[in-house]
Structure 1
Amino acid sequence: MKKAIIWIIIIAFVLSGLTAAVFSQSMVETPSIRKTPPAPVITDAERHAELARRRAAVAERMEDNSILVLLSTTPKLYSNSVSYVYRQENNLVYLTGLKQNNITFVMTKTGGEVKEFLFLPKRNPVSEAWDGKMYSTEEAAAISGLKTIIPSSERAAFLAALKTRSAYTSTEGKANIATGLANVYLLLPSSPRDQTGLREYGPENELSKELSGFNVENARPIFAALRLVKSPYEIKILQHSVDISTEAHMRAMAAAGRAKWEYEVQAEVEYTFRRRNADYWGYPSIVGCGPNATTLHYQLPKGQVRQGDLLLMDVGAEYEHYTADITRTFPVNGKFTKEQAEIYQIVYDAQEAVAKATKPGVRFALLQMTANEVIEDGLLKLGLITKKDGMQFRQWFIHGLGHWLGMNVHDVGDYGTPLAPGMVFTNEPGIYIRPDALEWLPDTPENREFIARVKPAFEKYKGIGVRIEDDLLVTANGVEWMSKNLPRSIADIEAFMAKGPGELPLTASLLPYKY
């Protein structure tokens, strides 16, 4: 009996050792994966000061004898009676920090005096049972720093008074809101053809039609100008979004060599977003392998991940209403082919040239021309265009250089505005040799000649798609690469990939999270 017990102990010890060995192997991390640093800690006082600064900046840009009304965004329908996860209107968050539905912010400016009001739904046990906890008055005040809070049940009476230019006093006697003012600021479509604006600001647009006798102003240009330049507070939050996205990229790159399908790689990305407490993605993830990388907004990750192909990942996490936007293109097997490297290097050089040209006072159009020049030179050298006419290269570089970044992935702001410290934009040149690109050209003598001359090069590079995208912060001295920790050059990517796979999605989900 004793011998049996001894053998059981020995076997258990051996098995436990094997289990530990297997488990330790499953925990192997690629040493160079940079885990997301802890989220920035922001005190109530810091948040209140930031929100108050923003509200004051908006008020300063309003005409005197004016009222600003911001409505919550309406829930977006996914299917039938199911809505998408609710996401508050950006400008309302920008001024209040509040993300709950059915709130309204009002600000008046008369004789230089500014008053602020918030309409907030009262907590409701039925609503909370279905959709979760609502803000109490105290919680909304603690988040926003706003002092005058009125039940949302009174909003209809307030809007009725506004339309008729009547006096409005809340039933609880907390507030008297001046409504007979000359100017009303609302978020409105920029024109009758602005479909995005009509979709986003339909209720405001309808309200504007009922405001006779007022000078109705579109508040969107005010917010666009203010949001274009990020404060240090905003940059801290945006940097955290970038850091989460950087780790997601690294983990997906490290796991791609074992993946069979694009959706497996995408799952690693979005798993990391959730693991690091991102709100969500800032836009639908783009993960395309081989020829699928030549589709700009590829959104059906059902293709195979093949050794020898390039895999393009354009993914960004959103944290506290600010989103990153980063793209990497890398070889699944860890090594660029000669043809892949030639295309990649052109895009890399264009990105480098843009960063070097970035400084305060420069306009975005100059950065676009800088990228165009490098890509045109490179394509001509490879034989993919026959001349530098400012047009042919657009066959392969089919989008703009980049866009402003912030609360929207394509954030608001005038692209004619000279660059200034605090602006954040994406630097994302790309080349896409779509396999069917030449087939779609109109049958003209000029195009027939073009096809005949570039066909040998086209066959050589066909199916290669490369985009490199980084998030750049304009500084007093030039630019800061917010996404600098993610491998970008050919040498750095190959070195990173050579270190082997990191933890895989299902393995990682079983492990404790430690900073």
Structure 2
Amino acid sequence: MNSPFLSMGQETYHVSLKNVFGQNRRKLCKALQQKPVSEGNLVVYLHGGPSETRFDSDHEPLFRQESYFWYLTGVKEPDCAIAIDVATQHATLFIPNLPASYATIMGRIKTREEWKEHYQVGEVLFTDDVEDTLAGMLEKRSNGTKSKLLLMKGLNSDSGKVYEPPVTIVNHEKLSSHVDVELLFPILAECRVFKTAAEQGVLQFVTEVTSFAHAYVMRNMKPGMMEYQGESLFRHYCYYNYGCRLVGYTPICGCGPDAAVLHYGHAGEPNARQSNVGDNCLFDMGAEYFGYGSDVTCSFPIDGVFNDRQRPIYQAVLNAQIAVYRMIKPGVSYVACHKAAEAAILKVLVEVGIVNLAGKTIDDLVEMRLGAVFMPHGLGHFIGIDTHDVGGYLAGHPERSELPGLKSLRTARILLENMTLTVEPGCYFIDHLLNEALAEGSFLKVHMNEAKVNHYRGFGGVRLEDVIVVTADGIINYTLCPRTIEEVESVMAGGKWPPTEDIAPELFRARLTEPNPLPSPPSL
């Protein structure tokens, strides 16, 4: 009998409940067992995401599970909870006790036994039983010592928001004396930093889907098309062909000057500009499949051929990626990688006359933070269940810099095996940043060729973003996009992708020339 899995049917990718989420629970329990705590029983308790409606209406947005809960369960449905006995690794899933009328609107109500079998947990109870069940678990094997109920409380360093524990549990008369809100958060967040082999398999799949979707969009975009049409092509390709119902974040489809807006595509700027001849396009989009998402950016000329302005800027960013890939291995600082990317970009900007050395070296300019004028964001971030995945600035690791550019780096950690990250250098011409650097009194002004800078105003920007995993001696690049200038121009002219030959092995693109690991998409 096959182990239960999540999929969208037919030939879509199978996500094993046991190998992904069961393994994640085992990983957490092992990490907690290694901590010097009291001899009493440890019980982990997490709430899943609640069912919600849009403001005061009865419209139900498509539910997406809370990320920590998803990591431990793979449960798609809202209004659930889980309790895990750390010593035995026994998991109890709590589900809502639905009225019979639910079946009329939402479909047949699954039995508790069906929930147990599907989600591969030890027991399934109703949420009405949470408090009494937790009390019983805490009393079990206490041996006269006080058991602990571990709840989540901690700061997300990307959003600045705090994960708060459930008040009803914290204040419950039978449970409050057992509550611990210090131990769990940093350990569970750290577990999510290092991906298991099964998690890496899902990330590789969704990144390959994302990569081929980008190539599909690149091939089909023409001058005069709307930015949102590029977004639509991407969403269609991922969902129609591979069952990726969601994207990991709001797609960014900036053409021309819009490509200089780092998070373009939001509600106020909804990918609504018409592309023009000569535009550079920056498309940042990632599919999501059963909770695990990708994050890939491609930049390309809407005409299909790089012009004299576009070519050096694109090559500068590609050079930055290659420089970073050559240095990444366990023990390397991600801050050092960020600076290496800046250096590669500044080198080309000097060559084309946008930046002046004025007696300084490239390394001097990096330390002066001139690179942040052209790349104001960080080099990348952890990726997994969240696009900006957790663990970037946990206690005991390097703190966030306050310097321009570096302060936007979403982790300053030393890289280790099985970390999954994005590498996304970019070069942009953003008016207010250029104006600040060129202002009288700015110590950067002497290093800026104002006439050349003005020539690039309105250009937008170039970003190239891949998803990689750190291995024992380097990286594997899951992203299979056209990357060299030759590859981009070939695909936009209708050339085959993926190719039969890898002309850029320095990009470490795994499986690029192997037989396509994905089922053939009917839309190509």
TM-score interval, smaller chain: 0.7 to 0.9
Q: Check 1:232–1:195 CA distance in 2 against 1; reply closer, same or farther (3 A cut).
A: closer
Equivalent positions of 1:87-126 (< 5 A) are 87-109=64-86, 112-126=87-101
Mapped to 2, the partners of 1:328 and 1:512 lie a distance apart of: 20
Deviation, structure 1 residue 314: 0.2
Equivalent positions of 1:154-303 (< 5 A) are 154-157=129-132, 167-168=135-136, 181-190=146-155, 196-198=160-162, 201-202=163-164, 204=166, 207-208=169-170, 211-212=176-177, 214-257=179-222, 260-275=225-240, 276-299=242-265, 300-303=270-273
Structure 2 residue 482 is the aligned partner of structure 1 residue 473: no
Deviation, structure 1 residue 417: 4.3
Runs of at least 5 residues in structure 1 that lack an aligned partner in the other structure = 1-36, 503-510
Q: 1:72–1:104: 8 Å Cα contact kept in structure 2?
A: yes
Q: 1:384–1:458: 8 Å Cα contact kept in structure 2?
A: yes
Structure 2 residue 421 is the aligned partner of structure 1 residue 412: no
Q: Check 1:83–1:43 CA distance in 2 against 1; reply closer, same or farther (3 A cut).
A: closer
Q: 2:343 aligns with which of 373, 384, 387?
A: 373
Deviation, structure 1 residue 169: 8.3
Letter of the structure 2 residue corresponding to residue 287 of structure 1: C
Letter of the structure 1 residue corresponding to residue 43 of structure 2: I
Mapped to 2, the partners of 1:317 and 1:195 lie a distance apart of: 21
Q: 1:310 aligns with which of 271, 280, 292?
A: 280
Q: Check 1:223–1:213 CA distance in 2 against 1; reply closer, same or farther (3 A cut).
A: closer
Q: 1:227–1:413: 8 Å Cα contact kept in structure 2?
A: yes
Q: 2:481 aligns with which of 463, 483, 486?
A: 486
Q: 2:113–2:124: 8 Å Cα contact kept in structure 1?
A: no
Mapped to 1, the partners of 2:496 and 2:276 lie a distance apart of: 16
Deviation, structure 1 residue 246: 1.4
Q: Check 1:143–1:435 CA distance in 2 against 1; reply closer, same or farther (3 A cut).
A: same
Mapped to 2, the partners of 1:77 and 1:447 lie a distance apart of: 52
Aligned equivalent of 1:29: none
Mapped to 1, the partners of 2:158 and 2:337 lie a distance apart of: 27
Mapped to 2, the partners of 1:253 and 1:144 lie a distance apart of: 39
Mapped to 2, the partners of 1:281 and 1:394 lie a distance apart of: 29
Q: 1:340–1:461: 8 Å Cα contact kept in structure 2?
A: no
Pick which of 140-149 and 271-280 moved more: 140-149
Render the CA deviation track for 1:411-447: whole Å, top value 9, x for unaligned.
1124454323321110100011124543456954337
| RMSD (Å) for aligned C-alpha atoms | 3.3
Pick which of 317-326 and 97-106 moved more: 97-106
Q: Check 1:217–1:83 CA distance in 2 against 1; reply closer, same or farther (3 A cut).
A: farther
Mapped to 2, the partners of 1:146 and 1:227 lie a distance apart of: 20
Deviation, structure 1 residue 221: 1.3
Structure 2 residue 510 is the aligned partner of structure 1 residue 513: no
Letter of the structure 1 residue corresponding to residue 121 of structure 2: L
Mapped to 2, the partners of 1:86 and 1:280 lie a distance apart of: 11
Q: 2:372 aligns with which of 377, 394, 398?
A: 394
Deviation, structure 1 residue 448: 9.5
Q: 2:370–2:444: 8 Å Cα contact kept in structure 1?
A: no
Mapped to 1, the partners of 2:418 and 2:354 lie a distance apart of: 38
Q: 1:72 aligns with which of 37, 42, 48?
A: 48
SS in 2 for 1:338: coil
Mapped to 1, the partners of 2:27 and 2:245 lie a distance apart of: 23
TM-score, normalising length: structure 2: 0.77
Deviation, structure 1 residue 238: 1.0
Deviation, structure 1 residue 491: 1.1
Q: 2:384–2:420: 8 Å Cα contact kept in structure 1?
A: yes
Structure 2 residue 113 is the aligned partner of structure 1 residue 138: yes
Q: Check 1:38–1:341 CA distance in 2 against 1; reply closer, same or farther (3 A cut).
A: farther
Q: Check 1:281–1:128 CA distance in 2 against 1; reply closer, same or farther (3 A cut).
A: farther
Mapped to 2, the partners of 1:417 and 1:366 lie a distance apart of: 10
Aligned equivalent of 1:148: 123
Render the CA deviation track for 1:268-315: whole Å, top value 9, x for unaligned.
011112212013000000001000000000012010111211111000
Mapped to 2, the partners of 1:182 and 1:459 lie a distance apart of: 66
Q: 1:98–1:143: 8 Å Cα contact kept in structure 2?
A: no
Runs of at least 5 residues in structure 2 that lack an aligned partner in the other structure = 1-9, 358-364, 393-410, 498-519
Aligned equivalent of 2:451: 456
Letter of the structure 1 residue corresponding to residue 299 of structure 2: T
Mapped to 2, the partners of 1:187 and 1:306 lie a distance apart of: 50
Q: Which is greater in Rg?
A: 1
Q: 1:402–1:426: 8 Å Cα contact kept in structure 2?
A: yes
Mapped to 2, the partners of 1:448 and 1:469 lie a distance apart of: 28
Deviation, structure 1 residue 335: 0.6
Equivalent positions of 1:279-358 (< 5 A) are 279-299=245-265, 300-358=270-328
SS in 2 for 1:314: strand
Q: Check 1:467–1:156 CA distance in 2 against 1; reply closer, same or farther (3 A cut).
A: same
Mapped to 1, the partners of 2:107 and 2:436 lie a distance apart of: 52
Pick which of 85-94 and 291-300 moved more: 85-94
Mapped to 1, the partners of 2:523 and 2:277 lie a distance apart of: 32
Structure number having the greater helix percentage: 1
Mapped to 1, the partners of 2:12 and 2:490 lie a distance apart of: 29
Render the CA deviation track for 1:384-436: whole Å, top value 9, x for unaligned.
33442532221111001000111110111244543233211101000111245
Aligned equivalent of 1:425: 421
Q: Check 1:236–1:133 CA distance in 2 against 1; reply closer, same or farther (3 A cut).
A: farther
